[in-house]
């Protein structure tokens, strides 16, 4: 564990300082993570508008009004994923970051660390940043080759749960997975769903029927000028942002936090892999064009 935090201390991204009240000393092997990152944490409120109509009610189809309105997403907690991702004009090499810290936006202290053993491997484990010993909360295993889905393992020992993260189709960036909490989908929100100042919005929804029509949003990763990681830009792939969550709908827990965090990191890695593949194609085209 000491080696892990030393790697972050030397190669981590510069962090903005929090107010003095948030600078509580860290315990255990994570004491090198004294600098805390605190971007603007103004909650992105769902915008609603009210319009009136002068048309007589009898002439309007009421079939839409009879449907229950989609409830607004009201996050109850949030984390900041800190990674610069992959810039557009770079060599297609693996990311240098071996440790990705995930911070609490309330305290500015690291809650989780996502750790890789070496640059050439995509396998990673999610650990408790404040644990005295390395407490593995989840791990992700990647297999090389087409059609090989990442394997997510939540927990350790005999009680651990394993499931695949499956791409919906060859042409879609969305993924689905089924775990003990149900079936979920990570997808990229459309332009109409994004608030002003948001470049990319990744949405995690629980899918409650086979047709996929009944959905409950449980988390979203917001990336924009105020929320993305320092050192990244709007064109960066796999860069971090603010992970907003609502894990309980008032009637019971929808999913646990470590499952949300771990699967979100898989989405960021997929972005980096796509960027590296595109960079390889660009370099190959340039070399081929130069030969002719």
The least confident of 21-30, 205-214, 238-247, 263-272 is 21-30
The span from the CA of 181 to the CA of 174, in Å, is 19
Alpha helices in the chain (DSSP H): 2-11, 257-291
pLDDT at 216: 93
pLDDT > 70? residue 26: no
Using alpha carbons, list the distances in angstroms from residue 4 to 27, 32, 81, 263: 15, 10, 17, 21
Q: Average of pLDDT values for 53-64? A: 36
pLDDT tens track for 169-188: 878 899 999 999 999 999 99
Tell me if 185 sits within 8 A of 204, measured CB to CB: yes
- Nearest Cα residue to 266 out of 152, 98, 163: 152
pTM: 0.74
* DSSP strands (E only) in 28-160: 77-81, 99-104, 110-115, 124-128, 136-141, 151-154
């Amino acid at each position: 564990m000491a080696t892990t935090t030393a790697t972050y201390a030397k190669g981590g991204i510069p962090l903005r300082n929090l107010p003095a009240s948030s600078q509580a000393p860290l315990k255990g092997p994570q004491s090198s993570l004294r600098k805390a990152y605190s971007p603007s944490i103004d909650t992105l409120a769902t915008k609603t508008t009210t319009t009136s109509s002068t048309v007589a009610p009898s002439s309007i189809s009421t079939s839409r009004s009879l449907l229950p309105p989609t409830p607004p997403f009201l996050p109850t907690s949030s984390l900041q994923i800190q990674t610069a991702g992959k810039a557009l004009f770079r060599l297609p090499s693996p990311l240098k970051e071996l440790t990705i810290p995930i911070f609490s936006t309330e305290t500015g202290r690291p809650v989780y660390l996502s750790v890789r053993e070496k640059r050439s491997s995509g396998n990673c484990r999610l650990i408790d940043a404040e644990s005295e010993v390395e407490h593995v909360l989840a791990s992700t295993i990647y297999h090389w080759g087409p059609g090989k889905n990442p394997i997510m393992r939540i927990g350790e020992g005999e009680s651990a749960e394993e499931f695949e993260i499956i791409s919906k189709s060859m042409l879609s960036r969305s993924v689905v997975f089924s775990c003990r909490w149900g079936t979920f989908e990570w997808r990229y929100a459309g332009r109409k769903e994004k608030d002003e100042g948001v470049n990319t919005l990744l949405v995690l929804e629980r899918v409650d029927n086979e047709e996929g029509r009944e959905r409950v949003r449980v988390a979203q990763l917001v990336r924009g000028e105020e929320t993305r990681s320092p050192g990244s830009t709007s064109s960066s792939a796999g860069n971090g942002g603010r992970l907003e969550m609502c894990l309980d709908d008032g009637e019971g827990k929808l999913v646990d936090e470590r499952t949300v965090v771990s699967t979100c990191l898989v989405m960021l890695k997929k972005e980096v892999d796509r960027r590296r593949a595109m960079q390889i194609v660009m370099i190959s085209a340039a070399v081929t064009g130069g030969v002719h």
